[in-house]
Every structure is written in structure tokens, then in C-alpha cells.
Amino acid sequence: MAVKLERIKGTRDLLPEEMAARRWVFERIREVFERYNFHEVLTPTFEYTTLFQLRSGEEVVEQLYAFEDKGGRKVSLRPDMTSSVARLYVNSFQNAPKPVKWYYIANMFRYEEPQSGRYREFWQAGVELLGSDRVEADAEVIALFVESYLNTGLRDFTVNIGDRVLLDEFARMLGVKDDVGLMRLIDKKDKLSREDFISALRDFGLTREGIDKVLSLIGIRGKPDEALPKAEELFTGRGAEEEIKRLYELVDLLDAYGVKDHVLVDLGIARGFDYYTSVVFEAMVPNDLGIGSVGGGGRYDNLISVFGGKPTPATGFAIGIERLIPILEWKGLLPEPKLRPDVYLIPIGDDPEVKRTTVGLVSSLRRADVRADYELKGRKLRKALEHAGRLGVPYVILIGRRDLTSGRVVVRDMETGEQKDVEVGAVVSFVRELLRG
Ligand code: AMP
């Protein structure tokens, strides 16, 4: 019995049309990353499992694709790039000039329940800026985040900014010990109905007053100029005061970058990763596809020292490619992929001389940067023309014994059916002229 070969749940096969669209998206993002002077790195797809476990207590750790290799090493596929980049930095770049500005475009693996925009293997394009604790570094990264989406043609999106220091402060204000638990709960606010959210807060142990405070916190959501003054009212402690001042500076810089219009403040954002220490942010696009955040990031000032490095502040983000692409497609922003050749050559008959001339011509065209192909299945003229027609090829070149004796071939315009005798030596420039016109 034949073995049934199935694709693993949560993974995808990407076909030529999709690959063409993806490459276009990657290029748009890469362009902006490079303009901001970030440099590309790539780390191994798998690492020692302990690397990811060092960030204990996270959802991502529970979702690891972990296994033992034949040498008995405990290894895991990377669930994101930040840990690997941090390892690389600690291993070899601690003494490099700061800041270190790296980017990556790579696949990640998480054992999650697949759903709209959620896969077990997915790609992220992201950056990490290591070695600056300044608000300028946060602004640089967030501006780049905004510009990356803009460069794909997307306009209708927001980058929502929250803050871990303020959430910690908030937990303290409420007298909550399990601050991580509270953050996780607050992070789920949009996934629950208001009633369910309130009853979850009650189950968590909050009093009426506490619940009201949480509701005012998550109500701080909107244009920075409106939201930040509300934050000043809600928070009283000194730590919070300084952090809010930092947010004002951040927003002011984002204004100078020219991206403030896309920025909202949303103090109810925590983002899943426990390693974030200050500003966190995520990109949202209103859509009917059931797709949540199309990217996210934040500042993580402790991770490098958790990995045994000298304390090094850092900030970064990751854009989710499997979410961005369907949104761009839905908005009609992806270019039509061109998967047909510009010219198709058909040798007529089985004459070796005709074949040699065909191959010679197809090669010359390709060297001249023309997308050219030829009849590799030996179909007869009529069938070969039908095939070229199905592919949607604009020009076909027919090479026959009789024409060759006079050193000529026939170039056919597939749209009009018009045919022209062209000298073999002039075919390349003739075709290039046609394609230019
Ligand atoms: P995270 O690394 O969890 O901060 O996620 C950053 C971005 O990656 C998210 O905003 C999503 O766009 C994307 N992402 C995260 N998990 C998945 C997944 N399982 N499938 C597809 N995209 C994902």
C-alpha cells in the first residue's frame, strides 16, 4: 500500500505565485531596514533548548518544538529570533561598537493551535538594536516599524504603544503580587467580552475598586496627546511619572520622524514576552480576516544579562509575514506575479541543427536579460503554440529548417498573430525592442 504523504498541521507549501508575492514583500521590508543602517544576520534554526528556557515561565517556552538529537543533545527549533541574536551578541559582540543594529528575515516554530494567521512554522522580519538605553533608540526602532509597513503600500494601520514599567507600577498600586498574571489577563482584554473580562478580574482576586482601576487603565487608549495626560492622572508614583515623561519624549521624536499619525497609546498592551522591560508596541490593521497583530516588539533591557552578558539595554521588533501578506492581498496591494516567459522558442521538427540554433538563441536572450524559455517536451508546432498561448507568452519564436538556410527565424506576436522574419543575429535586439515597447 502506498504511504500517504501529508503535510504537517500548521505548516504550508508556498507555490510560485505566493513565493513571488513574498519575495516582493521581503524586498520592500529589507529596503527600509537597510536604509536605517541595520545589517542582516542569520543564526541556526535550532539551538540548545536551555537558551529558550532561560526566559522561564513564558507561553513560548511551553510551545517549543523540542527534541533530542542523535548525540543526545536537547535542542529546539527557534520560536523567535531574539534569544538567538542575544546569544550571538553575548558570544562575540559584547565589545563591538554600540549600538549594534541587526536585522533578520527567517522562519520560526511554535507549537500553537493553528487558526487564521497562526501557523506552527511562520516567518518574521525583525530588527534588534543592542547597546542603547536612550529613548532615541526606541523611537528609531518604532519609526522603522512604521516605515516598514508604509513601504509595502499599507496606510490603514496603527502602532499601539504600551509600557511595562507602567503596568508594573499599576500592579503595585493595586497591591497585586502576581503582576505577570495580571499582565496576561490585561493582554487578553480584546479577546473577552466586557462581562467575561470583569469576571476574570474578579476570579483573579481584584476588588470592585481594583476592577474599576483596571477598566480606567485599559480605557487609556487613543491619540498620544489625549491618552498621555489621562495616564498622568491615573498614575501617581515617581517611577510612573518618569516613564510617562519618557513616553512624551518618544512621541515627540516619532513626530519628528514624521510617523506620529500612525501611533496610538494603549496602556493595556503587555505583549506575551516576559523579557520586555519598558515600551512595548504592536501593529494592528483593521481587517475582516480574523487577523490580530501583524507585528510587535519592545524594549528588553535584562535579557542580555540573563544570558550571562554584561548588562546591555536592547530594543527590537518582529513583523509577522503570514499576517502581513494576507492583509496586503486583501487590500489589493500585492503586485500581480509574472510567472510566464517573455519569449517562447519552438524548434520545428527534430533537426539537430534547428535544435542547436534554438538553444543558442534562447541562451543569447537569457544573457541579454530576457526571460526566455523553449519547448522542452518536443511538442509539435500546433501543440507547442497552444501551450505558449496557455502560458500567456507575448512572443513566440519559430525556428525551422527552411528558414535557417536563409539565416532567419519567425517572431510571432501572440496577441495579434502578426509574424515577422528576423535575421538570427538580430533576434536579441529585435525582441528587446519589442519588450521595451
Ligand atoms: P511575537 O514574536 O509573539 O511578538 O510576534 C510578533 C509577530 O509575529 C506577531 O505580531 C504576528 O504577526 C507574528 N506571529 C506570532 N506568532 C505567529 C504564528 N504562530 N503564526 C504566524 N504569525 C505569528
Q: pLDDT tens, 67-107?
A: 999 999 999 999 999 999 999 999 999 999 999 999 999 99
Q: 52: closest CA among 14, 17, 16, 78?
A: 78
Query: What domains, with CATH codes, occur in the chain?
Result: 16-330 (3.30.930.10), 343-436 (3.40.50.800)
Euclidean distance between the first and the last CA atom of the chain, given in angstroms as a whole number: 56
For the stretch 339-383, pLDDT in tens is: 999 999 999 999 999 999 999 999 999 999 999 999 999 999 999
Is 316 near ligand 1, meaning CB less than 6 Å away?
no
Q: Which three-class secondary structure state does DSSP give residue 22?
A: helix
How far is ligand 1, taken at its centre, from the CA of residue 60, in Å? Answer: 11
Is 140 near ligand 1, meaning CB less than 6 Å away?
no
> How far apart are alpha carbons 374 and 398 in whole angstroms?
10
Is 300 near ligand 1, meaning CB less than 6 Å away?
no
Q: Looking at ligand 1, which residue's alpha carbon is closest to its atom 20?
A: 118
Is 80 near ligand 1, meaning CB less than 6 Å away?
yes
For the stretch 20-38, pLDDT in tens is: 999 999 999 999 999 999 9
Res 56 pLDDT > 70: no
How far is ligand 1, taken at its centre, from the CA of residue 64, in Å? Answer: 14
CA–CA distances in Å: residue 278 to residues 94, 149, 241, 314: 22, 23, 13, 10
Shortest-distance atom of ligand 1 to CA 297: 4
Is 114 near ligand 1, meaning CB less than 6 Å away?
no
Is 107 near ligand 1, meaning CB less than 6 Å away?
no
Q: Which of 113, 158, 323 to mutate to test the pocket of ligand 1 (most atoms within 8 A of CB)?
A: 323
Question: Can you give the pTM of this predicted structure?
Answer: 0.94
Q: What is the mean pLDDT of the chain?
A: 95
Cell (9 digits) for 324: 502581513
Q: Quick one: pLDDT at residue 59?
A: 77
The mean per-residue pLDDT over the stretch 401-410 comes to 91
Rounded to 5 degrees, φ, ψ at 155 are -125, -35
Which amino acid, one-letter code, is at 407? Answer: G
Is 283 near ligand 1, meaning CB less than 6 Å away?
no
Is 118 near ligand 1, meaning CB less than 6 Å away?
yes
Q: Quick one: pLDDT at residue 437?
A: 82
> How far apart are alpha carbons 158 and 286 in whole angstroms?
9
Model confidence at 134, pLDDT cuts 50, 70, 90, reads: very high
> How far apart are alpha carbons 56 and 75 in whole angstroms?
16
Q: Which of 63, 81, 118 to mutate to test the pocket of ligand 1 (most atoms within 8 A of CB)?
A: 118
Vertex 26: Cα angle to 150 and 86 (nearest 5): 100
